[in-house]
Amino acid sequence: MRLADAIWASIATVALMGAASPGPHVSLDPKEIGKAPVSSWTTFNGDYSGERYSTLTQIRPDNVDQLTEQWVYRITGVGAQRGAPAPVIKCTPLLVEGVLYITIPDHVWALDARTGMELWHYVWRDHGGHLVGQRGVAIWKSTVFFETPDNWLIALRTNTGKELWRKNYADARMQYFSTSAPLVVKNHVIVGVGGDAMDMPGFLDSFDPRTGALQWKWWSTPRRGDPALKTWPNEAASDHGGGMTWMPGTYDPDLNLLYWPTGNTNPVFAGQGRPGANLWTESIVALDADTGKLRWYFQLSPHDTHDFDNTTAPVLFDAAVHGQPRRLLAQAARNGFFVTLDRITGIYLVMKPYVPLDYYSGLSPQGEPIPIPDKDPSVGGSINIVNATNWEAPAYNPKTGLFYVNSAEGKAIYYLTDDSARPSGYGGTIEGIGHTRRVLQAIDPLTGNAAWAHVYPNLNNAPVTVGPSILTTASNLVITGDDQRNLILYAADTGRILWHHELGANESGGVITYMLDGRQYIVFGAGDSLCSWSLAR
Amino acid sequence: MLRSGAIGKAKRPVVRRAFGTMLAASCLVAAGIAIGQEPQTGSQPAAQQRRYQNMTPQQRAEATREFLGLGPEPDKAAATRGAPLFRRDCAFCHGPEARGATAPSLITSDLVLDDDLGEHLVPFLKKGRPEKGMPAFAAVPDDQLHDIAEYLHLQVEDVANRGTYRLLNIVVGDAARGKSWAASHCMSCHTAETFAHVAKRFRSPGQLQRGWIWPSRSGDQSLAVTAAVETPDSATIAGRVTQVSDFRITLVDGLGETHVIERRAGVEVRIHDPLAAHQAMIMTLTNEQMHDVTAWLETLR
Give the ipTM: 0.93
Task: Say which residue, B29 or A74, is predicted with more confidence.
Answer: A74
Stated length of chain A: 537
CB–CB of B42 and A484 under 8 A? yes
Spatial neighbors of A422 by CB under 8 A, at least 6 apart, are A273, B95, B97, B99, B100, B105
- A202 at B interface, C-beta within 8 A: no
Query: Which of chain A's residues have a Cβ under 8 Å away from the Cβ of B50?
Result: none
Please give the CATH number for the structural domain made up of A3-535: 2.140.10.10
- Mean pLDDT over A263-288 rounds to 98
Give the architecture-level CATH label for domain B225-273: Roll (2.30)
- Is A17's pLDDT higher than 80? no
Query: Which of chain B's residues have a Cβ under 8 Å away from the Cβ of A488?
Result: 246
| Type of residue numbered A424 | S
Domain ranges, ordered by start, for chain A: 3-535
For a pLDDT cut of 70, what percent of chain A falls above it? 96
Residue of A nearest to B172 (CA): A380
Domain ranges, ordered by start, for chain B: 76-164, 175-215+281-298, 225-273
Please give, rounded to a whole number of angstroms, the shortest distance from the CA of A436 to a CA of chain B. Answer: 10
CB A180 within 8 A of CB A245: yes
Q: Counting one residue from A and one from B, how many pairs have CB atoms under 8 Å apart?
A: 284
- A496 at B interface, C-beta within 8 A: no
Strands across the sheet containing B248-252? B258-262, B248-252, B236-244, B226-230, B268-272
CB–CB of B19 and A501 under 8 A? yes
- Is A414's pLDDT higher than 80? yes
CB–CB of A122 and B16 under 8 A? no
Please give, rounded to a whole number of angstroms, the shortest distance from the CA of A235 to a CA of chain B. Answer: 11
Task: Say which residue, A447 or B71, is predicted with more confidence.
Answer: A447
Please give, rounded to a whole number of angstroms, the shortest distance from the CA of B2 to a CA of chain A. Answer: 6
Closest CA to A334 of A296, A308, A373, A300: A308
Please give, rounded to a whole number of angstroms, the shortest distance from the CA of A69 to a CA of chain B. Answer: 6
Other beta carbons less than 10 A from residue B11's beta carbon:
16
For a pLDDT cut of 90, what percent of chain A falls above it? 94
Element (H, E) at A332: strand A324-332
What is the tens place of the pLDDT at every residue in A362-411?
A: 999 999 999 999 999 999 999 999 999 999 999 999 999 999 999 999 99
- Mean pLDDT over A422-436 rounds to 96
Indicate which residue of A196, A304, A307, A528 is catalytic: A307
Other beta carbons less than 10 A from residue B35's beta carbon:
15
Q: Is A528 a catalytic residue?
A: no
Closest CA to B27 of A500, A534, A522: A500
Cα–Cα distance for residue pair A259/A249, rounded to 1 Å: 5
Handedness of CA B257, B263, B266, B268 (dihedral sign): positive
- Mean pLDDT over A333-337 rounds to 98
- Is A293's pLDDT higher than 80? yes
- A438 at B interface, C-beta within 8 A: no
3-state secondary structure of A486: strand
Residue of B nearest to A17 (CA): B8
pLDDT of residue B213: 98
pLDDT of residue A342: 98
Give which of A126, A221, A433 to mutate to test B binding, by max B Cβ within 10 Å. Answer: A433
Strands across the sheet containing A348-353? A315-321, A324-332, A337-342, A348-353
Residues 188-227 in B contacting A (C-alpha not used; CB under 8 Å): 206, 209-210, 213-214, 225
Segments in chain B below pLDDT 70? 1-50, 53
Query: Which of chain A's residues have a Cβ under 8 Å away from the Cβ of B283?
Result: 356, 411, 434
Cα–Cα distance for residue pair A358/B219, rounded to 1 Å: 33
Q: What is the mean pLDDT of chain B?
A: 85
Beta-bridge partner residues of A286: A259, A296
Q: What is the mean pLDDT of chain A?
A: 95
| Type of residue numbered A91 | C
Name the residue facing A356 among B214, B242, B283 (closest C-beta). Answer: B283
Name the residue facing B69 among A6, A128, A460 (closest C-beta). Answer: A128
Query: Which of chain B's residues have a Cβ under 8 Å away from the Cβ of A105?
Result: none
Please give, rounded to a whole number of angstroms, the shortest distance from the CA of A117 to a CA of chain B. Answer: 6
Residue of B nearest to A172 (CA): B69
Name the residue facing A117 among B10, B246, B278 (closest C-beta). Answer: B10
What is the tens place of the pLDDT at every residue in A503-517?
A: 999 999 999 999 999
CB–CB of A419 and B168 under 8 A? yes
CB A155 within 8 A of CB A144: yes
Please give the CATH number for the structural domain made up of B76-164: 1.10.760.10
Handedness of CA A46, A51, A57, A63 (dihedral sign): positive
Q: What 8-state DSSP symbol labels residue A433?
A: E
Other beta carbons less than 10 A from residue B220's beta carbon:
10
Element (H, E) at A103: strand A99-104
Query: Which of chain A's residues have a Cβ under 8 Å away from the Cβ of B39?
Result: 484-485
Cα–Cα distance for residue pair B8/A300, rounded to 1 Å: 46
- A78 at B interface, C-beta within 8 A: no
Give the pLDDT band of residue A22 (cuts 50, 70, 90). low
- Name all contacts of A291-296 with Cβ < 8 Å and 24+ positions apart: A291/A216, A292/A204, A292/A206, A292/A215, A292/A216, A292/A217, A292/A218, A293/A218, A294/A218, A295/A257, A295/A346, A296/A345, A296/A346
Global pTM value? 0.91
CB–CB of B166 and A433 under 8 A? no
Give the pLDDT band of residue A6 (cuts 50, 70, 90). very low
Name the residue facing B167 among A415, A433, A482 (closest C-beta). Answer: A415
Spatial neighbors of B94 by CB under 8 A, at least 6 apart, are B100, B101, B103, B104, B105, B106
pLDDT of residue B49: 61
pLDDT of residue A8: 36
* Helix B175-185 and helix B287-298, axial crossing angle in degrees, nearest 10: 100
Cα–Cα distance for residue pair A81/A84, rounded to 1 Å: 5
For every residue of A107-163, DSSP letters joined together read EEEEEETTT--EEEEEEE--SSS--S-----EEEBTEEEEE-TTSEEEEEETTT--E
Q: What 8-state DSSP symbol labels residue A386?
A: P
Task: Say which residue, B2 or A115, is predicted with more confidence.
Answer: A115
- A173 at B interface, C-beta within 8 A: yes
Please give, rounded to a whole number of angstroms, the shortest distance from the CA of B205 to a CA of chain A. Answer: 10
Please give, rounded to a whole number of angstroms, the shortest distance from the CA of A481 to a CA of chain B. Answer: 11
Name the residue facing B99 among A10, A379, A424 (closest C-beta). Answer: A424
